[in-house]
Amino acid sequence: MITTVPVTLGTAGAGRARGYDVLVGEGASAELSRLVATGVPAARQVAVVTDAVVAAMPWFEGIRPGLPFEVHVVEPGERSKTMANVEALCRAFARGGLARSDAVVAVGGGVVSDLAGFAAATYHRGVPYCTVATTLLCQVDAAIGGKTGVNLPEGKNLVGAFWQPFGVLCDTELLETLPARERASGLGEVAKYTFLGEPDLPGLALDDQVARCVARKASLVAEDEREAGRRVLLNYGHTLAHALEASALGRAARGEGGGGDGLSHGEGSGGDGLSHGEAVAVGLVYAALLARRLGRIGDERVELHREVVERLGLSARLPAGLSGSGRRELLSYMARDKKAAHDLAFVLDGPSGVELVHGVSPEDALGALEELACT
């Protein structure tokens, strides 16, 4: 069964309604040609962007846009999210004669969706794109909401654009070929939604989990497309997760081990062998410990965070062997988080639910890290 989840956005010029549908379910990718025909009726050709792992999957041949197309293959993994690849893709689009009325189709996980979406956002000052999301992480998060972009050596997702797709296909059948670690990476995001108004998620079938996560994200994006307010809640658990990723990548750049993609392909890494979603799982329990330290929640709620993470088969442990200086380094990365204006800011649970909390003291942030390290 295919579930259609609408993403309703504000109005465009002349009051035209904006928005698109996300189709979730087994076989949703078979809808691609219909989506292209209805979403970009003037298109004469499309550029399909994917990675080498997805291109080698037996089902890739079956994903057809219904128009003449050229396939552009990038290397799998977070390292492909570069300005150099944006330039390479745009030059290839130009050589292929891709017009402004044509379209880009991203087929892959979050890396492909972010990269191809950003190339689409900038080529000809913006061409339409859609995503066939092939990983759990992409289906429940990256493909929805129009955040596109690439990394710089100085940090993740530092260059990007809000550029909404004309549709997203979340084919849950494709998840059957997903390596277990990649599935775990997506489950970290599923765990996050459990605390954003979807408490029943861990007990649901995978299709229903995906549809509920998409609907929850769609409602936050509809409310706050450009993250001026409540969309920031989607970063629950991400402050420590991003710090773990940045610190591991920094160590790798200095030749001190860590970093690299913890996974063979797809969703990038939290470093130290942690996938992004695994790092988010750790970050969720850390956020709960910090919230308790600030008197916002009690023991039961902290336990619930641990239970949800464990029920989804994830771990709440910091990477082994993290020293005191390693914890202080994580703190300095957390201080650079994009939510922090000039202070330490976290999305934290509390009596009124999850919300953005500014002005957290370094002592509390470090204290909660030490607590996490001791468990």
d(CA 261, CA 152): 16
Is 238 annotated in the active site?
Answer: yes
**Cβ 35 vs Cβ 67: under 8 Å:** no
Q: Name which of 81 and 231 has its Cβ closer to ligand GLY.
A: 231
Is 276 annotated in the active site?
Answer: yes
- Minimum CB separation from ligand GLY for residue 231, in Å? 5
- Minimum CB separation from ligand GLY for residue 45, in Å? 29
- Minimum CB separation from ligand GLY for residue 268, in Å? 13
Is 235 annotated in the active site?
Answer: yes
Residues in the chain: 375
Q: Among 81, 216, 235, 245, which one carries the catalytic annotation?
A: 235
Residue 327 corresponds to which tokens in the numbers above? 């914890």
Q: Among 276, 292, 305, 339, which one carries the catalytic annotation?
A: 276
**Cβ 312 vs Cβ 345: under 8 Å:** no
d(CA 346, CA 365): 9
Q: Name which of 63 and 113 has its Cβ closer to ligand GLY.
A: 113
Q: Among 31, 225, 227, 245, which one carries the catalytic annotation?
A: 227
Q: Among 72, 81, 156, 231, which one carries the catalytic annotation?
A: 231
Q: Name which of 212 and 231 has its Cβ closer to ligand GLY.
A: 231
Is 156 annotated in the active site?
Answer: no
Q: Name which of 147 and 183 has its Cβ closer to ligand GLY.
A: 147
- Minimum CB separation from ligand GLY for residue 110, in Å? 9
Q: Among 31, 78, 189, 225, which one carries the catalytic annotation?
A: 189
**Cβ 89 vs Cβ 119: under 8 Å:** yes
**Cβ 111 vs Cβ 80: under 8 Å:** yes
Q: Name which of 329 and 337 has its Cβ closer to ligand GLY.
A: 337
d(CA 244, CA 260): 12
Residue with smallest beta-carbon separation from ligand GLY: 234
> Using CB atoms within 10 A of its CB, is residue 45 exposed (0-12), middle (13-18) or buried (19+)?
middle
Q: Which residues touch 99 (CB under 8 Å, ≥6 apart)?
A: 44, 45, 124
Written as one string, the DSSP assignment of 33-100 is HHHHHHH-TT-S-EEEEEEHHHHTSGGGGG---SS-EEEEEE-SSGGG-SHHHHHHHHHHHHHTT--T
Q: Name which of 119 and 214 has its Cβ closer to ligand GLY.
A: 214
Is 147 annotated in the active site?
Answer: yes
Q: Among 217, 292, 293, 305, which one carries the catalytic annotation?
A: 217
Residues near ligand GLY (CB under 6 A) are 141, 145, 147, 227, 231, 234
- Minimum CB separation from ligand GLY for residue 64, in Å? 28
- Minimum CB separation from ligand GLY for residue 234, in Å? 4
Coil, helix or strand at residue 359: strand
d(CA 373, CA 358): 24
Is 338 annotated in the active site?
Answer: no
**Which residues are marked as active site?**
125, 147, 189, 217, 227, 231, 235, 238, 242, 276
